[in-house]
Structure 1
Amino acid sequence: MKKLMILGLFAGLMGGCTTGTIITQEGTTEQPKWHNAEKVTFNKDLGTFPNLQSLNQIRDGMTKDQLYELIGRPQYDDGWRPREWNYLFHFTTPGQGENNITTCQFKVLFDQNMYARSFYWNPINPENAVCPPNLTPPVKEPIEDKVTTQRYTLGADALFKFDKSDIQNLNPKGRVDLDSLITELGKFKVLNSIRITGYTDRLGSPSYNQKLSQDRAESIKQYLVNRGVNPNIVTSQGRGSAQSVTECENNLSRTELINCLAPNRRVVIDVDGYIEQ
């Protein structure tokens, strides 16, 4: 009994105060869980203000050392050799949040080989905040230029063949749509960031939809990079069936249901930059 107690204590010390998030071998989860926001382990429990340009460089496949160079060490105790890193970030948001500050938690999940594979945000203050806030990193530009944010939504059915996510399986119309997007990007004098978010419908398992949406977003990113877009300003993420834009009755036939849910299968691309007036 005494030996078992010692082993249990040792396991608890090595495990740290984990969130309890169940992480797949591929570095995804169906339900991210979060630390108590105040349990930050350094900076006097206050979290940090991240460098926006560094934050925009985070992408799938990064090592822990690469992440450390961009956003520093994780700010919560997740035990020994954790497969998740957790942060508490503050953003200056004039006119929003407490004292013009929005606070969010940020989670990175790693696959079994310790490569970053998925990223999650959790609003803290305000509780309904958009995380991360839609911010543009400061750059020096002439006053006659105008900062703008553009959102482009592309239908996944037009982009990819059924159940496919790689560049080789782009539909002809998908290539046309992406080439038109690249033409639009050429109208920007300065591109600060491009955020690509993939979504699926609710059919299929959460883990499958998460991976499909992530893979499709990453393929779009690769397509843009292959055509000259700076990879350091492009990030991609999958949100699975989150934030659906249409709801459909379950009593429809499968074909009718698939067609009804089509608007939810999409890729959203948010572009921040400067255009000439």
Structure 2
Amino acid sequence: METLSLGNWKLTWLNGGVTHLDGGAMFGVVPKALWSKKYPVNDLNQIELRTDPILIQTGEHNILVESGIGNGKLTEKQKRNFGATEESQVIEDLSKLGLTPNDIDIIIMTHLHYDHVCGLTNYDSSKGEYVSVFPNAVIHVSDTEWYEMCNPNIRSKNTYWEMNWQGIEKQVKTFNSEVTVVDGIKMIHTGGHSDGHSIVVLTQGEDILFHMADLMPTHAHLPSLWVLAYDDYPMTSIHAKEKWINEGLKQNAWFTFYHDAFYRAVKWNESKEITEKVERHR
């Protein structure tokens, strides 16, 4: 498990599973001749996308950012369509760190698409219903995202699934434009990828970290115009990327990733050259 220290805090990437999605869809209108130089693609035109939650240990709190794809949540057809070749090992990784799901007291959800939220619930056959995997956690998400999760439209119903919100309703705490989750951790609603999408900003003294979530799912998505065909509001994504990436570059911030198969975190200089990095052990 790769780690990063931010002040007195420790970040650890857990194994949440992996998908392989169409590279064209992940880079939108960007020609393959350009994006394939930045991120490898297989013979099926798919790129590897991790779904690895970040555990933040502050000394007072055990916080998860996202939850992975879970176990037993995808049908065989969905596994084929999403290129899901590995399911979550989050609970096993927590155990290696001396923790259980009951020790997680805060969960930050940037948005609630299946590949981020499936790990929050599992099916309890004795109760005949889905139950929370992390029963002691307060789950933070924007109110816009939570509303659409529970009331999906004709497009979003393909990723907002009832089984992923049943069982966690009483744990969810929503916010409007931004919220301080704990001192030093702020969620900011951006929209773009989804109407309720948020980013996360961590500050510890002079150290700062930006988790851009699916506005910048991999290091290869650094250019502002390189947005996903999956984005509901691509121009909103572009404007949000322009604002927050430039803000991070000015502050010499770390940028962390949930989906990147190669980097867990990077720092770029203002010429957009990588100056520091945490590579994923492959």
Query: For the superposition of Structure 1 and Structure 2, which TM-score range results when normalised by the shorter chain?
Result: under 0.3
Give the structure with the higher percent strand: 2
TM-score norm. by structure 1 comes to: 0.24
Give the structure with the higher percent helix: 1
